[in-house]
Amino acid sequence: MPPPPYVHAAGYENAVGDTCAYAAVGGSRILLSSRRHGTYSFDTARATWSKDGDWTLPFSDRAEFIPD
């Protein structure tokens, strides 16, 4: 899995603890929130990242969906 796009941005500093939340969503998406860069989604079928917004996920660490 390639790193999120902000890792390659000018001036990026690898801060310990910058990733604050992540979750697998649906069959082929992984959401990742960075405290400084917002929320990104990784499409595992296409191996591509996209930015979802400047907000962070409403939880900390890992979330797991458990269907009813």
Residue 14 placed within a domain? no
Q: How far apart are CA 18 and CA 62, in angstroms?
A: 14
- pLDDT for res 68: 73
Q: What is the pTM of this model?
A: 0.80
- pLDDT for res 17: 64
- pLDDT for res 15: 64
Residue 49 placed within a domain? no
Tens-digit pLDDT string for the chain (68 aa) = 888 888 887 777 766 667 788 898 888 899 999 888 899 999 999 999 999 999 999 988 988 777 77
Q: Print the domain residue range for 35.
A: 1-7+19-44
Burial of residue 2 (number of CB atoms within 10 Å: 0-12, 13-18, 19+)? exposed
Residue 13 placed within a domain? no
Q: How many domains does the chain have?
A: 1
